[in-house]
Amino acid sequence: MDGDLAANVARTKGVIDEAARAGCDFLCLPEQYLSGYGKPEYAKAAAVILDDPHLLELAGYAAEKGVVTLAGIVERRGDGYADTQVVLDGGQVAGHYTKTMLVSGDRAIMDDCDDELPVFEARGVRFGIMICQDSSFPEIAATLAWKGAKTVFSPHYDSIRRDEMDAHRILVRNNHIGIAAHYGLVVARANVVGYLAEGNRFGYGDSAVFGPGGRRVRVQQGCAPNGSLALGEGGLAD
């Protein structure tokens, strides 16, 4: 629910449960999943700092279920905000990545970003994160690969007009295929499913995984609700 952090944390626990039952090791939630995207009132109502009790509660729950969870938040930084994806592992906020390439809608809310491009490791997987628009810039993927990432998670929040949806889908898909093929990475995209009556916009939910050769690969366990992507051991197949 947009702007309702407590409700979204409760919903996320349900998604973690589903991922755990399916034997998944990783769960990647879409961009700003815990806040709702696109309006300043959502950001202000649901923004959190990295040691917020809600995040720590969720991290503990994910650890109990054995699922490394990547959750999108609006991060509060002093009087400002940032678009951040936290890595919940081992019962804590084990790391975070902040969106680097902001779109115009982001800039209406976000006034802080990072250029550190960190790489993380969990369950023997070395991975990076690029949020939505970041995946349009190969320099970001190149840096993550140079730092040793073998997998890149790419959480999105797409809200696209009907007449622009297909062109946008093809563009983003080709970005991910190119990154996977050129840098030899697994690229895992998580996107939202939904409809916004204001502006007649759609979140078209094209969560997908592309292998190092650039081919789309099958996610054996499928996708969790609302576009969240859940991956398990042996879950990728040609």
236 by Cβ neighbours in 10 Å (0-12 / 13-18 / 19+) ranks as: middle
pLDDT tens for 159-194 read 888 888 889 999 999 999 999 999 999 999 999 877
In a domain? residue 53: yes
pLDDT tens for 129-159 read 999 999 999 999 999 999 999 999 999 988 8
Where residue 129 sits, what CATH number does that domain have? Answer: 3.60.110.10
Element housing 106 (H / E): helix 104-107
What are the C-alpha distances in Å from 20 to residues 43, 46, 58, 62, 127?
29, 26, 14, 9, 20
In a domain? residue 59: yes
In a domain? residue 99: yes
Question: 218 forms bridges with which residues in the sheet?
Answer: 237
In a domain? residue 238: no
pLDDT tens for 78-101 read 888 999 999 999 999 999 999 999
Per the CB < 8 A criterion, the answer to whether 180 and 186 are in contact is: yes
Can you give the pTM of this predicted structure?
A: 0.89
* Helix axes of 53-65 and 5-21: crossing angle, nearest 10 degrees: 10
In a domain? residue 34: yes
Domain extent at residue 156: 5-233
Domains contained in the chain, number: 1
